[in-house]
Amino acid sequence: MIRWLYEKRLLAGLSTLPLHICFMITSHDMEDDPDKIVSVSRWCVEITDVVRASTGQGEPDRGIDGVTFHISTLDAGENPPYIGNVRKIGEFARLTLHLGESEETIGQGMNVHVAVGKSGREEITECIRQMARDGLSPNDVTEHAIEERLKFRYTPELVIKTGDSHLTDFLIWQSVYSELFFSDVNWALFRKIDFLRALRDYQSRIRRFGR
């Protein structure tokens, strides 16, 4: 009861949400609690609905537009045991699953990306290869030229890592100005109240974008 009241209080205090959130998790996290990724996705939808409704106008820029889960793994096999759990997200959101060289999109609603074993360095390397194939001269190699060739073309305002402070190189280009939040709570024990605290922390920050 007390936790429910505290959650309600935290939620009532939110007015500014990140448009895009990225969670950095591991295959071990998924094995420990394969349905937590579904719960967190639902929280994003629910919190966005509440914050937008509280404005009285439902402005789309007042909520979470998308969430990405990067699952780091040493073996990005074709059929990890938790993929069936991941696909449940498509029941209430627009899920795009990036697995190996394949990409699958199902459902409608909030954009949720799940990337299994993807590498930011590999993504940048592929951008360089693509520019070479396109015949770009050195003078034509710009930030824009790179960004339009990225596989993941969005910039997360908030990156959340649970359990420890170790980050992967995923979205290494896109997340350079992202706000980082490290939770000492392990993924399997991560609760809605912990997520709300992360959002409250984000709201209190003054973003400097590298300045």
| pLDDT at residue 59, rounded to an integer | 58
Comparing C-alpha atoms, which of 111, 109, 117, 107 is closest to residue 24?
A: 117
- Which residues, in sequence order, are bridge partners of residue 20? 66
pLDDT of residue 120: 87
The conformation of residue 11, written as its DSSP 8-state character, comes to H
The predicted model scores a pTM of 0.89
Residue 153 neighbours by CB under 8 Å, 6+ apart = 147, 174
Per-residue confidence (pLDDT) for residue 205, from 0 to 100: 82
What's residue 60's pLDDT? 56
Look up residue 155 and give its two tokens.
């910039």
DSSP calls for 69-94? EEEE-S---S--TTHHHHGGGGGTSE
Q: Is 13 exposed, middle or buried (0-12, 13-18, 19+ CB in 10 A)?
A: exposed
Per residue in 139-198, pLDDT (tens digit) is: 989 999 999 998 888 899 999 999 887 888 888 888 888 999 999 999 999 999 999 999
* Predicted pLDDT of residue 125: 92
- Where does 19-204 sit in CATH, by number? 3.40.1180.10
Q: Which residues of the chain have pLDDT under 50?
A: none
Contacts of 9 (CB under 8 A, 6+ apart): none
Taking the domains of the chain in order of start, what are their residue ranges? 19-204
Q: What is the dihedral of CA 79, 80, 82, 88, to 10 degrees?
A: -30
So what's the pLDDT on residue 119? 85
Token couple for 148: 């339009």
